[in-house]
Structure 1
């Protein structure tokens, strides 16, 4: 176990290096110039060139990348081109808001998906299963931004039940106020996760119900509900572990649209601002952080697999 974890951690370095090269190349191929955001109509060309030199954008692309990777290896991801603050510090300041939003959304999705998925599989091809499948197809297909705008229009504008944007009300510092601000973005994110999880649980449950151990338990007189929750559920949790590991990447990438619409002060909205302003250091930092979350998520999923299923052994 320890040797496997060490090998996987060592593999993170070349993977992040490859991701950084691809991301940096795509940024350089994108149209636009970040210096133009600082240019005023009366600025002289010499001043523009001097500004380009101060930002290090006058050097060749490969020199810029080598200078960036040299600082990144020492823990310095550079400074934002927009506000001239350290990239890493801004990400760490925004991380609790994103982690709380995504963590609660994933938790709600898993807690609801397990009983709903088992219920759909136990009532296969009945009206309950058809209704659940319809809702899952809607959750998978519906755009996140459209659902967010719809909920804002219904619950914030029409009914005035919940706030539409932000994380807190100005001048109000209470836990309940933060909860009210988080209900709509959590509902939007949970709906998409829930649809995917329910489909996986339903599919896995249907395959497990065909196994011999289920038929043997039913032949011994066990009730279908007992077999479903005592025996089948343990095998159904395995694909959920994989999905949870992959969902860690959504702590950064999946919240960009939601945080932007709801003005949630997290890493997602920070990344959207960086893209609009062509903030190269910030884009690189957020991309690497998202990739790191995905890699660590897969590693955690593999470790949890070993505890959930003792039959899984490491191969030499």
Structure 2
């Protein structure tokens, strides 16, 4: 296992370099002038060129990339072109809001997906399976922004049960107030994750119920529920571990649309603001940070494989 971790950490270096190179090239190829986005329209061209020179945007692209990569490796992701604040500080300030929202949504989705997927797979083609499949297909097909707007309309505007915007009520600071504001965006994200997780668990349950060890357990007199939760569940959770590892990157960028609809002050809304303002350092910083989290998530998934199934560890 130690050799696996060392090898994967060494593989991270070229992967991060490739991701940073592609992201920088795409950002530079995007249309528009970032300098003109925060300047008044009647400013003289000489002043524009002076500002562009001070920001280093008049240098060749490879020089800008080399300087940015050198600073990024030391933990300095640069300064925002719009508000002139450090990019690293902006990401770290908004990380708890996004990580809390996405973490709660993923945890809720996993807790609901396990019993629903096991029930659907063990009752194949019955009404339980058809009902769960219908819910999963709807959750996969419905766009997140449309589902978020529906939630705001029904639960905030019509019912007046929950707040629709922001993370705090003006004049109120407390955990209860944050939870109330987070219920709607967390529910929208949980539905999207739940729809995918249920399909994986259902498929794994159907294939595992055909294995010989299940028939042996029935022969020993074990009940259906005992077999599902004590034996089958260990095997069907392996693909979920992969999905959770891939969701590490989404802890940063997965709530872009949802945070924008609900005005949640997280990294997703920060990224949307940066895209609208052509704030290149913020866009690159968020992309690089989310890529690093995704790589770490895949490494953690490989480590968890060894604990979930010792045969994988032995083979490696």
TM-score in same-fold range (> 0.5): yes
Match of 1:159 in 2: 159
TM-score of the aligned structures, taking structure 1 as reference length: 0.98
Alignment of 1:71-110 (within 5 A): 71-110=71-110
> Aligned partners of 1:314 and 1:122: how far apart in 2?
30
> Aligned partners of 1:39 and 1:177: how far apart in 2?
38
> Aligned partners of 1:287 and 1:64: how far apart in 2?
17
SS of the equivalent of 2:311 reads coil
TM-superposed CA distance for 1:18, in Å, is 0.2
TM-superposed CA distance for 1:314, in Å, is 6.1
Match of 2:272 in 1: 272
> Aligned partners of 1:86 and 1:315: how far apart in 2?
46
Alignment of 1:128-167 (within 5 A): 128-167=128-167
TM-superposed CA distance for 1:128, in Å, is 1.2
Match of 2:126 in 1: 126
Structure 1 range deviating more: 124-133 or 226-235 = 226-235
TM-score of the aligned structures, taking structure 2 as reference length: 0.98
Match of 1:58 in 2: 58
TM-superposed CA distance for 1:188, in Å, is 0.4
> Aligned partners of 1:257 and 1:134: how far apart in 2?
24
Alignment of 1:202-213 (within 5 A): 202-213=202-213
Match of 1:6 in 2: 6
Q: How many residues align?
A: 316
Match of 1:248 in 2: 248
SS of the equivalent of 1:145 reads helix
1:49 aligns with 2:25: no
TM-superposed CA distance for 1:39, in Å, is 2.7
Alignment of 1:6-45 (within 5 A): 6-45=6-45
TM-superposed CA distance for 1:42, in Å, is 2.5
Match of 2:216 in 1: 216
SS of the equivalent of 1:49 reads helix
Structure 1 unpaired stretches of 5+ = none
SS of the equivalent of 1:311 reads helix
TM-superposed CA distance for 1:315, in Å, is 6.0
Structure 1 range deviating more: 221-230 or 93-102 = 221-230
TM-superposed CA distance for 1:41, in Å, is 3.0
> Aligned partners of 1:268 and 1:39: how far apart in 2?
25
TM-superposed CA distance for 1:237, in Å, is 1.4
Match of 1:312 in 2: 312
> Aligned partners of 1:280 and 1:314: how far apart in 2?
46
> What CA deviation, in whole Å up to 9, does each residue of 1:81-139 have, x standing for no partner?
11000000110010110110011101000011000101111111011110110100011
> Aligned partners of 1:230 and 1:20: how far apart in 2?
44
Match of 2:238 in 1: 238
Q: 1:6 to 1:314 in 2, by over 3 A?
A: farther
Match of 1:291 in 2: 291
> Aligned partners of 2:281 and 2:121: how far apart in 1?
48
SS of the equivalent of 2:286 reads helix
TM-superposed CA distance for 1:77, in Å, is 0.6
Match of 1:180 in 2: 180
> Aligned partners of 2:127 and 2:212: how far apart in 1?
27
Structure 1 runs (4+) deviating above 4 angstroms are: none
> Aligned partners of 1:226 and 1:45: how far apart in 2?
75
SS of the equivalent of 1:42 reads coil
